[in-house]
Structure 1
């Protein structure tokens, strides 16, 4: 162990001799945990992220289930060959015209986590099936957004105000295709903080 020497000055005691080893050791000791906190095993991050997101979404669903359902009727609804048709209140609706609707896709319940760090989305490319829910979580210290590239087949995304550090955004993909997205703060449509969701089904 080395002895450090001090000298008395008008403003107080000053350290006059330290070793470079102590300085470097102190800097390494302070910086190492910060660097290690930003790094990690991607497989472990994905597993932990999935469990955390599942518990958050389950809690949100439980709150939604506790709220009473609203049952307000504004017109009569009749079914013709499996399609809904409406008629004005008080009319018989015997000649209702069938309404064609696109088939709805039920969510599969599969959660696919994407972690937003301070300069990247992890993983950058995810492959999911139609009906899977992709969940983005901002684990960085900076604000981000998730904006779709204009040629994406279906609109999705979240603005900066709703994706601050610690925030979560999710989207259920209901049609197959390749959906490109980016963070406008840390990139643009082609470089920087970009990602792709490939939906099959």
Structure 2
């Protein structure tokens, strides 16, 4: 069965490829919400919208929609709009823990399949100052990264400890997704038509 990742995120593509799946990508034309709901619900809402949009265009395909949200002290942290904003974000995260939730929706319209889940990780950042922030901003393009950092890019400069899946923090909880996809694809193969 055709598998489509409803994302053009290079990190999600890399993680899904590393998990061993052959897939295509398609950018969903949807607006993401970023406030007004509990942070986990924001991620779930966005993942479902992405999967539903692409599944509507390719009803015979198994479509994966995903969204990752960072929450710190009750605030959702999106992607920084400037390097100054990124420095402020990193400064506010320094020495603190924050939560990262990645939500996934797997959808196939033709077979009436829908699977939705969210995985939570907690990231503990070192207590760092302006020098570390400046150095990190010179090394990493943070403008396309929620929370202004990437655990997989010089993350050891900032991250002290991580509870949960590192793949989840990067943007796609591949262990749980692999388990879900294998189960769904097996069920489709054994479905009587």
Q: Where is the helix percentage greater, Structure 1 or Structure 2?
A: 2
TM-score (norm 2): 0.23
Please tell me whether Structure 1 or Structure 2 has the larger radius of gyration of its CA atoms: 1
Q: Where is the strand percentage greater, Structure 1 or Structure 2?
A: 1
TM-score (norm 1): 0.23
Higher relative contact order (CA 8 A, sep 6+): 2
